[in-house]
Structure 1
C-alpha cells in the first residue's frame, strides 16, 4: 500500500507514522519541506520511500488576468477557510494600519469557518466595515472572478500553538496561475512555490508590519508585482500542473521508481 503525507497528518498527529512508512511501498508527499521533515523524524531509510508529488491546479480554470490600470485603490483578497492557521487577523490589522497611513485598500475574504464571528467583530472594532468584506464560501468560478478583480492575493499563514500549519496552499497556486501577485508567509513548503522577490513576496508569520510593507510596495510598484506574478504562473506550469502530477502519482501506483531528491 501507499499513503500521502500532507500536513496535519505529519505536523500534528504522527500516530504510528514510523510503522506506516515502514510497511508502505512508497509515501507521496507534497513538498521538499515535508520530505526533509520525514527524514529528520524517521531517518534516511524511511525517507528513501518518499516521493514528492505536488498538489496541482486545473490550469484551464485559472487563466491569466488582465491587470487593471492603477486607480489609487489596492484591491486585495484572501481565499482561505476562516481558521487560525490562515492568519486572517494579522491581515485585517495590516489593512487597518494601511488605512491609517492614508492608503485606500479593500480586502475581500473568501471562505468560511469557525472564526467568522471573531473576524467580523475585529473588522467592526477597527472600523473597517467599508474596507473588508467576508464573502463566505464561493464556487470555483466565482473564486476565479474574485482573483481576476484583485491586485494581490494575501495568505498570512501561521503555525498554531498545537503545531498545525499549511502544506502548500492550493489557493496560492490558483492565484499565481491567474497571474495575480501574491504575499504569503515564509512557512513550511510555501517558499517552494512563492520564491521571495521572484514569484511573489514572503513575510514572516504574524508580521503585521511586514504585510503593510509588502502591500504598500505592490501598490507603489504594480509593474514589478505583475512581473513576479507572470513568473509565478511559469512556476505553476512547471511544477503544479494537476494533470502532470496526477500522471506521476499513477506512475508510482504502477510500480515506477521513486525519483531521487532534487530530480525534475
Structure 2
C-alpha cells in the first residue's frame, strides 16, 4: 500500500525533498481539583483560562475529578480534559459547589471520600504518564496535586513539575505532618509559584524552599471582558457581593453590618451573586436580622455575565476573613475583576489584598470581623461616589500592567519553558 507524501516544489540534485515535519510541542499535564465542567460553568475558571493561554507553546492535558453532567473526556477551548472517578457517582460530592475545605467543614463525613480522591487521582496520573509522553507537570495546589506530582517523580517517572499555591493550601492545612509534606513538595519541585507577595513571605516563614519561587497570580482579562462602560449609570445604593458562599468570603459579617448601613441609607440593597454550602445558613441569618427586603440572593453567574454586575453596582463588598482552619484568600480574583470594570471596592484586610490595592488599601481595607468598621467603610464609599470611582480607575490602570492575562500567561510560559529546558539540560549533561 502506497503512502501519500507531500513534497516541496524545489528540486535538490534532481530529487523532490519532503517538507520537514513541524516540531512537536512539549506536552504539559495540568493537575487540578476543580475545573469548569462545561462551557459557561459558574465554577471558578482561572485554571482553564491559564491553560487556554498556554496552548500556543504546549499540548495541554488537564486531569481533574469527575462531576455529574460532565464528560469523562473532552476538548474544551483547545485543552484536552480528562476526568477521573474517585467514588460511586452519587457520592462524588467532595469538590464542586464550594470546594473541598468548605465541604469537609460542613459535612465531616466527607472526609471518608478523601482517600479515594487522592488514590483515584494518583492512579489516573500514573496510567496517563505510562501511556503518553508527558514532558512537564503543573500541579495546582500543594495538596493533593503537588503531593501526587512528587510521588510520580519519585516512584514512576522523573518528570519535572511546577506547583502553584493559591492560598488555602498554604495558609490552611496546619499541623506538623502536613507541614513536612508541604516542605517536601516544594523541595522536590522544579519551581513553585504563589499568587501574592504575602504568600511568598508565608512560604519562607513555614520553611518551604523550592529551587525557584515566583509570585505569579491568576490573571484577569482587562482588555476585552473586565472593562469599564461609561454608558452604564451606577446604582448609587447597590452593594454587590460576588463569590462562593463559604466562611472565608466573610459574607456573614457583611450581613451583620447591613442594619447599620440601612440605618443611614434605607434604600441600600445587597445583591449576592454566588453559590455554596453556606447558602441556607446565610438566608436564615438574613431572616433573623429582618433585612430580607434589602438582600437579594441572585445565584451563580458565569464569567461572561459578571461584568454587567460590576458596572452597575455602587461598590463591591469583599469582606474576606481567615476562617477557623486558617484558610484565606491568596490574591482575590473577584477584586481584580471589579476593579477592571471600574467598580469601587471595600475589602477585608487579609494577606494578599494589600499587594493588590497598594496605596489605596488604607481607604478601602477593613477588618471585616469588626462589623461597625465594615459598615462605616461601606457608608464612606457610598457617600463619595466620584472620589471612589476615580480611585477605582487609577487602581485599574496600575493593575492592568500587572495582572492582565497576557502578562500573566507570558510569565507562566517563560517559567514552564525554563523548567523544561533545565530538565532537558540535566538529562543531556548526565554521564552515559
Task: Describe the shift of the 1:141–1:196 C-alpha distance in structure 2 as closer, same or farther (beyond 3 A).
Answer: same
Match of 1:95 in 2: 258
Runs (4 or more) in structure 1 with deviation over 4 Å come to 67-71
Q: Map residues 1-264 of structure 1 onto 2, 5 A cutoff.
A: 1-13=161-173, 15=178, 16-42=181-207, 46=209, 49-59=212-222, 60-66=224-230, 73-195=236-358, 197=360, 201-255=364-418
SS of the counterpart of 2:329? coil
Alpha-carbon distance in 1 for matches of 2:294, 2:184? 50
Q: Is the 8 A contact 2:167 2:330 kept in 1?
A: yes
SS of 2:347's partner is strand
Counterpart CA distance in 2 for 1:121 and 1:48 is 49
Question: CA separation in 2, counterparts of 1:155 and 1:248?
Answer: 27
CA distance, structure 2, for counterparts of residue 62 and residue 90 of structure 1: 27
Q: How many residues align?
A: 253
Shift, 1:99, TM fit: 1.3
Q: 1:9: how far off? A: 1.6
Q: Is the 8 A contact 1:175 1:181 kept in 2?
A: yes
Unaligned regions of 5+ residues in structure 1, if any? 257-264
Q: What residue number does 1:260 align with?
A: none
Deviation at 1:67, TM superposition (A): 8.2
What TM-score, normalized by structure 2, do the two folds share? 0.56
Structure with more relative contact order (C-alpha pairs < 8 Å, separation 6 or more): 1
Structure-1 separation of matches of 2:399 and 2:190: 28
RMSD: 2.0
TM-score, normalised with respect to structure 1: 0.89
